[in-house]
Amino acid sequence: MNWLKDKLNEKSSFKVDFNLELPSFTKKPTALLGIDITTTVVKLLELSKHGNHYKVESYMVAPLPHDAVVDKKITDVQIIGEAIKKVLQRSNTKLKQAAVAVGGSSVITKLITLPAGLTDDEMVEQIMIEAEQYIPYGIDDVNFDFEVQSENETDSNRVNVLLAASRKENVEDRIAALNIAGLETKVVDIEAFAIENAFMLLANQLPYSVENKTIVVIEIGANLTTLHVIYNFRTIYTREQNFGGKQLTEEIQRTYGLTYEEAGVSKKLGGLPDNYVPDILEPFKRNMVQQIQRTIQFFIASNASRPIDCVIVAGGCASIAGVDHLVSEALGVPTYIANPFVNMEISSRVNPNNLGKDAPAMLVACGLALRSFD
């Protein structure tokens, strides 16, 4: 799915094509940096491809000030832009074009049907006419994109079309932040589709074919746990839940009288008192597994006939030792820790130890960087 591929409707101000198409780009994007803006950090990733093999050319992660991003929305574009500029400088990348993503509740996706045989421009016109049926905002307030998926099962004269939309400020704030850092935005993607794009790297590491298998990718970030259910390389279900590593950081902060920033550093680098593991970390791990079970149960309740074949744990919390074993025991299915870089060559500019630690949290950045090769 080559989302956000740049196709501008000349009769309107919208950007269309989900790769939320941006104006004036008509060629396939190449050599793109993947820039993932989360609530706590900015992540940069540059990949190259040689034959069928990928190489990590540049990678960097830098923290963001508290509340610089809230509920997937940028609150201060200048701060985000300066943070991206720092990771650019520290990564030593030479690239100046990038892919970025919007996500979560800021994005609406719907599978709609349209008459078969319409051109892309005619589909744009049709979507605009019927927009209020699909999008709970004024059409002038959103960027949207679409992709034809298949012939409709019940009416061969119509096709199934995946429509995605996001409020303009979500897109424009990210473009503006990248501009501050000196980057040109070539692709605006959706986080769930970036995960789907990176999934092919994870699938190749599994000990069996994923064809006709239901794979759960559970991403545990700072504030949110996001469930991605993938079947035959397509996302069929997503769900967010308010739970993440921030709760562990805040518990460390309260228990040991640290600032939030100090607690975050101590959580990552260690050096906390002896009671940290039994009194704080272990209860958090148990809570995390319960949250994962609860999130997956929502999917099972509406898809009882579709058994889960395996779980892949991603996000910052996936780096906590033993999480995969706890999840596997609780759910009774094989569980793995996400690492899209297992079969990649690593540039001498990249610290392999740091990359390995951050790997489970790099799926969105990886999926964005892979847009270079669409």
Please report the pLDDT score of residue 3 as a whole number: 32
Roughly what angle, to the nearest 10 degrees, separates helices 323-331 and 282-302? 40
Task: Please choose, from the candidates 186, 188, 99, the residue with its C-alpha nearest in 3D space to the C-alpha of residue 368.
Answer: 99
Q: What whole-number distance in Å separates Cα of residue 301 and Cα of residue 58?
A: 42
Least confident among 237-241, 276-280, 367-371: 237-241
Q: Which two tokens stand for residue 242?
A: 């308010």
Place of tokens 């898809």: 303
> Mapping DSSP to helix (H, G, I), strand (E, B) and coil, where does residue 123 land?
helix
What confidence score (pLDDT) does residue 128 get? 83
- pLDDT for 37: 96
Query: Does 25 have pLDDT greater than 70?
Result: no
pTM assigned to the model: 0.87
Percent of the chain's residues with pLDDT above 90: 59
Percentages (nearest 5) of helix, strand, coil residues in the chain = 40, 30, 30
User: How far, rounded to the nearest angstrom, does the alpha carbon of residue 84 sit from its chain's CA centroid?
Assistant: 17
Tens-place pLDDT, residues 177-199: 999 999 999 999 999 889 999 99
Structural domains of the chain, with CATH: 7-193+364-373 (3.30.420.380), 206-337 (3.30.420.40)
Nearest of 215, 219, 208 to residue 233 by alpha carbon:
215
pLDDT above 70 coverage of the chain, percent:
92
pLDDT band at 12 (very low <50, low <70, confident <90, very high): very low
Put residue 67 in one of left, alpha, beta given phi > 0 → left and psi -120 to 50 → alpha. left
The pLDDT of residue 374 is 78
Other Cβ atoms within 10 Å of 301 Cβ, number:
8
User: What's the confidence (pLDDT) of residue 8?
Assistant: 25
pLDDT tens digits for range 123-172: 888 888 887 787 887 778 888 888 888 888 888 889 888 888 888 889 99
- Rounded average pLDDT over 265-280: 91
87-104 average pLDDT score: 92
Instruction: Average the pLDDT over each of 5-19, 284-298, 338-352 and give the range with the smallest value.
Output: 5-19
Average pLDDT, the chain: 87
At 188-232, the pLDDT tens digits run 999 988 999 999 999 989 998 999 999 999 999 998 999 999 998
Q: Is the pLDDT of residue 4 over 50?
A: no
Strand bridging mode 142-151 / 224-231: unpaired
What would the DSSP string read from start to end of 150-217? EE-SS-TTEEEEEEEEEEHHHHHHHHHHHHHTT-EEEEEEEHHHHHHHHHHHHHTTSSS--TT-EEEE
